[in-house]
Structure 1
Amino acid sequence: MPGHVIMIVRSWPRLSQTFILDEVLAMERRGRELTIVSLAHSGEQRRQPQVDKVRAPVRFLDVGGFRARWSRISDHAHVLTTAPMRYVATLVHVLANPGLSRGYATCSAIRCFDHAVVVAALAFRLRRSGARAPHVHAHFAHDPALVGMLTRRLTGVPFSFTAHARDLYQIPPAGLVARASAAEAVVTCCQVNADYIAKTVPDAVRPPVRVIHHGVELDRFTPTLRAPGPGLTLVSVGRLVEKKGFADLLRACAALAESGSRFRCEIYGDGPLRRQLTELSAELGLGELVSFRGERDRDEIAHALARTDVFVLTPCVTDDGDRDGIPNVLVEAMACAIPVVTTATGGVPELVRSGENGLIAQPGDVDGIAGHLAALVADPALRRRLGESGRKTVESEYDVEAAALALEAVFDPRTPIAAEVAP
């Protein structure tokens, strides 16, 4: 049987983080036993229906009250008595290096140490129960990876992490080097991220960096026959935040309307910019051409994609470095054989090859975005050709089952827990 994986996430369950949910379910289908450790509850009212299919227990670390405090004290005592040298050395390391949590973070370094002790106690108990030596894997390079790194120092268990987008680019290089140098491997979703890691982490301490695309369930997102109507339906999905570039999309829709194209655009998602974007839509005179549909779960998004003619997402890099890797919604739309219009941000050009399986403009190029949309509105044959090519791309490169298989090499535990060995 494969070894147990302790997966550390920032919060659970997050509506937008379908890539983590898909990964968990795919690994469980392959017989992998997991425990999810979430640094915090997501606090979201809506969640994906597929969360109910997850078998893994979830340990939340933001729980208050007497029982939670006593449990944490017990975990500290357990780790201290099991590996006293490691416990003291790791605590001294954290106190001497408070900058480990600089940059994009919500926890201090000492708080991450406190969380890591809980994970370490879990790892020791799993080993004592007779389970194969666990592997600790963190999703996101900021707080979760720091907790995973400290767990590695406390226990000696193998540790890896997946770096995504903001979490990778908004922590200081020294913090990334510290996390990577303690890891068995670093996983990321696109080559541009891998190149950044290779440039930032010196060869002497850099572990293998694996590019594993976030896959989708090919039997869930499938092509459907879309009935022709009086105008085309454009759909976009994403959190209403700056890096998604929705302001550029609205301006492109205004240019498209001026050209006389018949369409309507539906935007799914919510976020801090909703009011600003609805006001911009009104200022541009878009009226009923653009509708904001709010947050939706994956089943509702799949239903929307079934009646979509063109999918559009126009991300950009913000002034503070926030950006996307490869947005899963683009992969899902292409899996449905929907032609896509997008921008060359992050890892998007690794997925979408302009003119072959979609159309790409430069970030912020409103005229270019509008031109691509106009071309697809006017040409059914182009829509069909790009859509079919997009489906083939996803089938060959973005299957969630293939991604789970690739992760097996990362999660195969090779290092036993060491109780009293200097870190």
Structure 2
Amino acid sequence: MPEIILQKVLHYKTNFLNPSETFIARLVQNHVRYKPVALCYRERAFTEKLELCAVPKNGLESWINTAAFHTNMPLPFYDKTLKNLQPALIHAHFGYDAYKLTGLANKHEIPLITSFYGSDVSRLPSEFGWKRRYKKLAARGDHFIAATDFMKSQLTALGFPRNNISVVRFGLDLKKFQYHENSPAPQKIMMVGRMVEKKGFKYAIEAVSNLCKIGMNPQLNIYGYGPLEQSLKKYSEQLGIGRSVHFHGYQPIEKIMEAHNQHSIMLVPSTTASDGDMEGLPNTILEAMAKGTLVVASNHAAIPEAVIDQETGFLFDEKDVDGLTKTLKLIIEGEYDLNNIQRNALALVEKQYSVTRMVEEVENIYDSITA
């Protein structure tokens, strides 16, 4: 039987990939009808068993491409790779990286697809020059993928053609998630993510402080790192709840999955940062729903597309510490049928957020472009 030769799709990201970018890795690792190849300036993570084209780290070629990179010039290595590889299409991840390849994609007449994820839609356009760059990307790109309906509306407002934007929701490999029906005590709460303003961790700490004041004993475990880590630790001590808030630093996904089994609530108090930065739909929400960990989240950006209040989780208004405190108090006191809400959350993830569905929808887009 003759070997089936799959068309190549070149996945591009400057750093391929950051350890937190599992949502990209799941697409690249699960292609069915296309052969993935990665192009990058620097190799980081998720490159096992993947054909990788990375700028050399040493020698004259490294020096030439490093100089081009730091002067915002097209990289000769990228140009050579596109010429030699001749992929059926390029799939760039994040708008800022897609823009870097617009000229080379047009030069080699290779279709360019761009996936957007969050800050590249909410914060980046407010920075100098990026609205102009996005106009060029909107005109030259062949297709655009938004991770949520909310993000599609943001892209349309930025001038991207609505009929050329597809919504493809994140996909989880549900075989890797062991659902836990019987949750631990509801006072065990976890948060996961970078310690930056848009994550809203400050408001969660204040809510925990409120619960302690009324005689409850919540235990908040925070997994992640970031520029606000020390100030959040100091804030917890100032509120007198240092024994109730625990900082565990960055942890690999395996440790996070283990932590879900020890917690009953995943808290996601996201907010719009002062520089306009917003979430897309945090991957941690979908992972919690697949694991059976109850999600309590702010009514922010695309979060309500997955977290339906009192149906698949709980919502509170951004920065509303009193509302969050009240919700957590009622959950802890047993006012809701949590098992039913957890099962609803799992059913929604299985229907709308499986990796099989995600890959199929993306490859259908590839088919329409390559045709």
* TM-score under structure 2 length normalisation: 0.90
Contact 1:242 1:318 in 2 (8 A): yes
How many pairs were matched up?
A: 362
Determine if the alignment matches structure 1 residue 281 to structure 2 residue 236.
yes
Contact 2:74 2:104 in 1 (8 A): no
Q: Could you tell me how far 1:120 is from its partner in structure 2? A: 3.3
Residues 221-251 of structure 1: CA deviation (Å, up to 9, x unaligned):
231244655x631111001111101011100
Q: Which amino acid aligns with 1:211?
A: V
1:331–1:227: structure 2 CA closer, same or farther, 3 Å change rule?
A: closer
Q: Which amino acid aligns with 1:32?
A: Y
Determine if the alignment matches structure 1 residue 33 to structure 2 residue 35.
yes
Name the structure 2 match of 1:165: 118
Residues 83-119 of structure 1: CA deviation (Å, up to 9, x unaligned):
xxxxxxxxxxxxxxxxxxxxxxxx67x52x423x433
Name the structure 1 match of 2:93: 139
- Of 167, 170, 179, the residue aligned with 1:223 is 179
Q: Which amino acid aligns with 1:178?
A: K
Q: Which amino acid aligns with 2:83?
A: F
In the aligned structure 2, how far is the partner of 1:412 from the partner of 1:287?
54
Q: Which amino acid aligns with 2:192?
A: V
Q: Once superposed, what is the RMSD of the aligned Cα atoms?
A: 2.4
- Of 311, 315, 319, the residue aligned with 2:270 is 315
Identity %: 22
Q: Could you tell me how far 1:176 is from its partner in structure 2? A: 1.7
Name the structure 2 match of 1:95: none
In the aligned structure 2, how far is the partner of 1:362 from the partner of 1:71?
47
Contact 1:310 1:340 in 2 (8 A): yes
- Of 133, 136, 149, the residue aligned with 1:178 is 136
Q: Please, which runs of 5 or more residues in structure 1 have no aligned partner?
A: 77-106, 128-132, 417-423
In the aligned structure 1, how far is the partner of 2:365 from the partner of 2:339?
38
In the aligned structure 1, how far is the partner of 2:232 from the partner of 2:65?
46
Name the structure 2 match of 1:4: 8
Contact 1:183 1:207 in 2 (8 A): no
Q: Could you tell me how far 1:69 is from its partner in structure 2? A: 4.1
In the aligned structure 2, how far is the partner of 1:270 from the partner of 1:120?
36
1:343–1:10: structure 2 CA closer, same or farther, 3 Å change rule?
A: farther
Q: Which amino acid aligns with 2:119?
A: R
In the aligned structure 2, how far is the partner of 1:225 from the partner of 1:360?
21
Q: Which amino acid aligns with 1:18?
A: T
Q: Could you tell me how far 1:199 is from its partner in structure 2? A: 2.2
* TM-score under structure 1 length normalisation: 0.80
Contact 1:309 1:338 in 2 (8 A): yes
1:207–1:7: structure 2 CA closer, same or farther, 3 Å change rule?
A: farther
Counterparts of 1:94-105 in structure 2 under 5 Å?
Answer: none
- Of 3, 17, 21, the residue aligned with 1:13 is 17
Contact 1:358 1:386 in 2 (8 A): yes
Counterparts of 1:203-352 in structure 2 under 5 Å?
Answer: 203=161, 208-226=164-182, 228-229=184-185, 232-352=187-307
Q: Could you tell me how far 1:11 is from its partner in structure 2? A: 1.4
Q: Which amino acid aligns with 2:344?
A: S
In the aligned structure 1, how far is the partner of 2:355 from the partner of 2:365?
16
Name the structure 1 match of 2:353: 398
Q: Please, which runs of 5 or more residues in structure 2 have no aligned partner?
A: none
Name the structure 2 match of 1:195: 153
1:390–1:353: structure 2 CA closer, same or farther, 3 Å change rule?
A: same
Determine if the alignment matches structure 1 residue 408 to structure 2 residue 329.
no
Q: Could you tell me how far 1:57 is from its partner in structure 2? A: 2.5
In the aligned structure 2, how far is the partner of 1:401 from the partner of 1:222?
18
Larger relative contact order, structure 1 or 2 (CA cutoff 8 Å, min sep 6): 1
Contact 2:183 2:293 in 1 (8 A): no
Q: Could you tell me how far 1:414 is from its partner in structure 2? A: 4.6
1:355–1:71: structure 2 CA closer, same or farther, 3 Å change rule?
A: closer
